[in-house]
A and B are shown apart, each in its own frame.
Chain A
Amino acid sequence: MTDEHEHYEAVVVGAGPGGAAAAAVLARNGVETLVLERGVEAGSKNVTGGLVYAEESAPYTVDALFPDFREEATERPVTDYYLHNVAGEKVETFDITDLHEHDTAWSDAVLRRRMDSWMADRVHEMASETGGGLLTDVRVNGLLRERGEIVGVTCDELDPIRADLVVAADGVNSELARDAGLMDWEEPEEWFQGVKAVVDVPPEIIAERFGVADDEGEAHLFSGDLFQDVRGGGFVYTNEDSLSIGSVFHLDSIVEQEAEPHQLLDNLLTHPLLADWLEGHYDEVEYSAKLVPDSKKAANPSPHEGRLLVVGDAAGQMQAQGPIIKGMNHAVSAGALAGEAFAEAKLRGKPEQAGDLYERKLRDEGVMGKLRPKGYRVASALGERDAVADLTDSLVSSSVGRLGVRLLGGAGLLEDLYSSPYLSQIVPDTQTPYVTLPTVIAEELGERVTGEADFEPKDLATRIGDLTYDTDVGNPHIELRDNSVEASGAAVTACPVSARDFGGGCYREETVKTNGSEQKRVSLDTQPCVECGTCAVVADTDWEHPRGGKGVEYKEG
């Protein structure tokens, strides 16, 4: 029977930066490579902030693999980088361009639909030369096993395929990593949730309001008291003719605070600083959301199993370096190293050693060290303990702490501290760096900003309504296993397209009356789902992606 299965030397699942890099290196080494992507087009399922970094110390950068990348697939290079500490209308801005430029060859803003589909065309061309190619609209739904060994993949749309190498580059909600037991979705602490709006703004207005030329761009980050005590921050990045405005928060914190992700985004959109930038130009074209792994906790030190090599978000390789988010560059490094490992192992006649070789390369090339910095482990062991965290918090907001902030700030030292690459790697995940300290800084040192938003952000119903969906009626991709409020109630608020008292989203809380007794339970409708993965972690669900091409289709990402 099995002889009838189609065979490729390598099957790469997912055409994000991780998959594209893996496929490019495999193809370059003459390995017959098939790439499978579930979106109607590469990028149609993806969301990023997004600044792509090319690190000087990285083993591979995206432009090394795809030479015209910067000219053809990116928006603007980021030439200035600011962090705004916010307390109400008071703002203290730090210029942390130095931190941004540390170990950085270049960094450009990107929109994923454009970036990924551009790369996919190149990948298809390269892979075609090897007898393979790239196919969209195909969802891989599991691993093909033979006597317990992984020998290929199974798909919704294709017959099973055998391969000597399977690269799982299927992103944060990797079904393959889960199938192989290399990743689980248990702990909200291990994840961030990103929510984003793309707002169309003509280039001349971007030039005027940000003071940038055509080939310049800016990144702005926000922390302090504008996000209802949720740990995380906001961002504004300049694209060619739009702004990416969004937020990235610790998922456990969103759940704890019962925060509504779309409202946190609105808090940012209507802040006086943005009011000045957006005045007369609020044209929101896309609302999107996605989970992101926190590599400090989730990066798997040994992301392989038999013929399966896992790269990028699927392996938890997403680095939050203080306020700077680096996922795409690490996905590229890991994907390329996986390809390299297989090519080398094959050359030595031992393709089965590709996994071990890949693991060694991740370590030797320094990728693993960045994803799981040693310093963080030491600092967090102390700093994240509740008693210590509370103490630090109250210390910072005490009069002594405030005095310290004034003194440090007056001497320009705070700005320097914020720009320290070392400190940024080890900051503990507590309230202090995200909320308390920035708020105190703004209160003590900040200046009042006076802008007033001349618009109402779009409401959730309109945001959902404006998205493109190919709904798959009768084929729900998420099933609630336990609809009690205790098990799944967190999804009602944490799902970025659901909200308490909103009937049009995915999750709703309902009161069911039976024989005089009342019971609260949760119900689910996956039609408006943006496939962010949040409920896979915070609710009790059976979670998978929709079939190829089905579900939400992002035009920007």
Chain B
Amino acid sequence: MHSVVLTKGVPDFREGQVSFDEDGHLERGATPTVMNPNDEFALQAALQTKVKQGGRVSVMSMGPPGYESVLEEAMGVYADDLYLLSDREMAAADTWSTAITLSGGIEKIAEEDGQSGEPDLVFAGFKTADGETGQTGPQTSWCLDRPIVTHVISLDVDEEAGRLRAKRLVEGDVDEIETVEAPLPAFVVTDPEFEPSYRRAEHRLRHKRLVAETEERVAEYEDHLTTWSAEDLDLDPDFIGLDGSPTIVSGVDPIPKAPSEREATTMTPDDEEGMAELLETMRPMAGGD
């Protein structure tokens, strides 16, 4: 079983890390790049597959050489091999040209693996913390011509039958959990609600061992890293990077900042009248009416 996890570097949006310029634009240079938080669930899903089915997990990302740190972080969650697709030609790509590039990378892995063929599963996290489009995964799956299951919250793979069975979270007025099956090879997009499940001691022990192994591997992650350029992937320059991007961002509006001073009324619990008034104000929020 071979799983490939797609991951992206995003600005570290945690408080104190992120920098904006005077116009409210993100200062990329001054903001550290980290692994897209949603991708962790995809990595967990791939790790679960490795724990239960055995095999190998590869992590792939497209980005500038600085992205190595993101792959290093991904390795900390779990990976056997790392692939970085990096080239000036690939820069400023929208989701579409990113998908084309990534699918090129996956096909290249399949080609290198020869006999064992294409990866059985490709995982992606649900939307990135910077772009928020949620398109790259589905578009990559389309390029690869694979069945796709999105919003996956739990996953079981039956290698012998060549199928996967997944539970997906369908959010709506009333949330539903849908169970679906798909043939392998398939494409899986994990939901942030994804939870790996290990109900057998044997699996938990293997998980523990793999996690311990990972710690050792992170220190020498560069030994497991392969970098491919556009030429290595044999990609048509018209379909990648800025040239291959049909989407144009026509404008970015900064989110209005919360006023630094807000109105607040201080009150003490002894002030019965005040408390009654406060409860009255809060009632609609609590009761939902």
Q: Judge whether B205 and A6 touch: CB under 8 Å.
A: no
* Bound Cα distance from A161 to B200, whole angstroms: 8
* Bound Cα distance from A3 to B204, whole angstroms: 20
Identify the interface centre among B199, B204, B209: most chain A CB within 10 Å of its CB: B204
Residues of B within 8 A of A132 (CB): 205
Residues of A within 8 A of B208 (CB): 124, 133, 135
**Which secondary structure dominates where chain B touches chain A?**
helix
Residues of B within 8 A of A8 (CB): 201
Residues of A within 8 A of B205 (CB): 34, 128, 132-133, 135
Partner of B199, one of A34, A128, A135, A159: A159
**Contact string against B for A residues 1-14, beta-carbon threshold 8 Å, 1 for contact and 0 otherwise:** 00000101000000
Q: Judge whether B204 and A6 touch: CB under 8 Å.
A: no
The answer to the question of A158 belonging to the interface, with a C-beta cut-off of 8 Å to chain B, is yes
Beta-carbon contacts under 8 Å, B186-209 to A = 199-202, 204-205, 208-209
* Bound Cα distance from A128 to B200, whole angstroms: 16
Size of B's binding interface in residues, CB under 8 A: 8
Residues of A within 8 A of B199 (CB): 157-159
Partner of B200, one of A36, A124, A133, A159: A159
**B206: nearest chain-A partner, CB-CB:** A133
* Bound Cα distance from A132 to B208, whole angstroms: 12
* Bound Cα distance from A124 to B209, whole angstroms: 11
* Bound Cα distance from A334 to B182, whole angstroms: 53
* Bound Cα distance from A34 to B208, whole angstroms: 13
* Bound Cα distance from A159 to B202, whole angstroms: 11
Residues of B within 8 A of A6 (CB): 200-202
**B199: nearest chain-A partner, CB-CB:** A159
* Bound Cα distance from A52 to B201, whole angstroms: 31
Residues of A within 8 A of B200 (CB): 6, 158-159
Residues of B within 8 A of A161 (CB): 201
* Bound Cα distance from A291 to B199, whole angstroms: 32
**A8: nearest chain-B partner, CB-CB:** B201
* Bound Cα distance from A36 to B201, whole angstroms: 9
* Bound Cα distance from A138 to B205, whole angstroms: 12
Residues of B within 8 A of A128 (CB): 205, 209
**Contact string against B for A residues 102-131, beta-carbon threshold 8 Å, 1 for contact and 0 otherwise:** 000000000000000000000010001000
Beta-carbon contacts under 8 Å, A1-57 to B = 6, 8, 34, 36
Residues of B within 8 A of A135 (CB): 201, 204-205, 208
**A36: nearest chain-B partner, CB-CB:** B201
Identify the interface centre among B201, B204, B209: most chain A CB within 10 Å of its CB: B201
**Contact string against A for B residues 169-188, beta-carbon threshold 8 Å, 1 for contact and 0 otherwise:** 00000000000000000000
**B204: nearest chain-A partner, CB-CB:** A135
Instruction: Tell me the minimal C-beta distance from B282 to chain A in angstroms.
Output: 22
* Bound Cα distance from A6 to B200, whole angstroms: 7
**A34: nearest chain-B partner, CB-CB:** B201
**B202: nearest chain-A partner, CB-CB:** A6
Residues of A within 8 A of B204 (CB): 135, 138, 158
**Contact string against B for A residues 155-168, beta-carbon threshold 8 Å, 1 for contact and 0 otherwise:** 00111010000000
Instruction: Tell me the minimal C-beta distance from A157 to chain B in angstroms.
Output: 8
Instruction: Tell me the minimal C-beta distance from A158 to chain B in angstroms.
Output: 6
* Bound Cα distance from A133 to B200, whole angstroms: 13
* Bound Cα distance from A296 to B235, whole angstroms: 81
B residues contacting A by CB (< 8 A) are 199-202, 204-205, 208-209
8 further interface pairs, Cβ-Cβ under 8 Å (given A6-B202, A128-B209, A132-B205): A6-B200, A133-B205, A135-B201, A135-B204, A138-B201, A138-B204, A158-B200, A159-B200
4 nearest A-B pairs in the assembled complex, by CB-CB distance:
A133-B205, A159-B199, A135-B204, A34-B201
25 A-B pairs whose Cβ atoms sit less than 8 Å apart in the complex: A6-B200, A6-B201, A6-B202, A8-B201, A34-B201, A34-B205, A36-B201, A124-B208, A128-B205, A128-B209, A132-B205, A133-B205, A133-B208, A135-B201, A135-B204, A135-B208, A138-B201, A138-B204, A157-B199, A158-B199, A158-B200, A158-B204, A159-B199, A159-B200, A161-B201
